[in-house]
Structure 1
């Protein structure tokens, strides 16, 4: 009887591990839980980056509207690269959505959520199904590797002068007070 209980417990643990590994929502749930207890906080430190022009880096929304980052000078840009199949992306979405809701009416802050797969239909449905309000875009030009190297999720914040102010690869809790204060500081600066 003892042998049977031990095997059942082992089987249950293996099954749980397999679910976490192969089910994106289960993995996202686990990562989200870790974010809520304090893991996955982005460091706010000015990255060392070469001066670069944002002109010509373009994104298209579901309505066909093009946005060129170079045209957004004078605004803080919150740029997030993600994909619907990415568990860390799914894990950080609730916090990113909360941050977006806080700043969506701030004319000094622009949010761009770039679907790395470029499937606007799928990503728009994903957002709608989860009741997220974030505007979805697809990449319409080359993006320099200093901005996006292919790691998902990647979040970049540019200040009003178009300078790289934050770059974070991996999941993070963007509803954290440090990020909110950081965006407020950037949006109020000249």
Structure 2
């Protein structure tokens, strides 16, 4: 085998290892040019939420479902985060329940610092979600900086690291 082929195999293997580690950690960097736009988000009460209106501060869009136990636990974590940073962070909790009434009932009044929204599960899957919960983090310019493919403690080390990356890219 030539040196060039060996180097190419090494680089390829290294890329696979890095991707595997990111997937195992549950966080993956945002693609540089997403092929599918963020799923349409509908406000509770009607009307669309436009990503452009969120500019000016980092934002998290968390896709969840009433039937998803890890989702419900993560909503509590997101509520604590949003309450502690209400002036510096926007958190949208987008239910993918087929019937908005079910999502609304599960959300209740337990999360006053989160913005309730609704999205199509099919659209979220096309966007890249392989399961729920699925969070997308944006910097203050509205650029996607991270996708989180599992439930995390947003007040813990994982959450702090992700929010730091959103704040860094905001500059």
Query: TM-score under structure 1 normalisation?
Result: 0.60
* Cross-structure match for 1:173: 153
Deviations 1:69-111 (A, max 9, x none): 24434432201010011111122222111112112233xx322
- Please tell me whether residue 137 in structure 1 is matched to residue 144 in structure 2: no
* Cross-structure match for 1:32: none
The alignment yields a C-alpha RMSD, in angstroms, of 3.3
- In 2, distance between residues paired with 1:51 and 1:160? 18
**How do 1:73-92 residues align onto structure 2 when only pairs under 5 Å count?**
73-92=55-74
- In 1, distance between residues paired with 2:116 and 2:73? 17
Gaps of 5+ in 1: 1-41
1:61 to 43, 46, 71: 43
Contact 1:120 1:136 in 2 (8 A): no
1:99 to 81, 87, 95: 81
* Cross-structure match for 2:132: 152
Q: 1:68 to 1:54 in 2, by over 3 A?
A: farther
- In 2, distance between residues paired with 1:110 and 1:86? 23
Residue 152 of structure 1 and its aligned partner are, at CA, apart by 0.3
Query: Number of residues paired by the alignment?
Result: 146
Q: 1:135 to 1:47 in 2, by over 3 A?
A: same
Contact 1:157 1:164 in 2 (8 A): yes
* Cross-structure match for 1:72: 54
Higher-Rg structure is 1
Gaps of 5+ in 2: 1-23
